Amino acid sequence: MEENFEKIVLAGGCFWCTEAVFQRIEGVEEVISGYTGGNIKNPAYREICTGRTGHAEAIQITYNPTQVSLETLLEVFFATHDPTTLNRQGNDIGTQYRSAVFYANDIQKQKAADFIELLTKNRVFDKPIVTKLEPLTVFYEAEEDHQNYYNENKEQSYCQFIIAPKVEKIKKYYSEKLKTT
């Protein structure tokens, strides 16, 4: 990857959902599903699902800041999950489904804090935003069968009923920010 690319790690519930959304954004070079923010090394999906490891299902986004800004990525992130529910997204409940921005540096932390403040000030959501800003420590890549999940499993009911509406939402509201290929 080129040296001018940047990375951000976001957790917005199920990583299959967030991965599918961000794979479609222009300027995003790579999206990897994985785990971060927990207390054991090299966790596996079966351990994450218990909610006892402290990890969140998250995605690591590698992006070109000359094509897409961190602010745009944050806007899409907050528009495609519910940042007002603590440790929950829809029927997925547990700390592994928390809403969080795992920042790698002070600039990312400040931009995320400023964006949350803007959303709060403008009363974009009916309830308070509970998205946590957490320092990124280690990001563990999820198992291979969790990578590119939606694109390879569109016929599954979870993909059709949970992920497809999120993809349709970005097509509707963010069409100018989508990849053309």
- Token pair belonging to 88: 């929950």
Catalytic residue at 14? yes
CA dist., res. 66 & res. 83, Å (int): 27
> What is the DSSP track for 85-130?
STTEETTEESGGG-EEEEESSHHHHHHHHHHHHHHHHTT-SSS---
Determine the number of helices (DSSP H) and then strands (DSSP E) in the chain: 7, 8
- Annotated active-site positions, please? 14
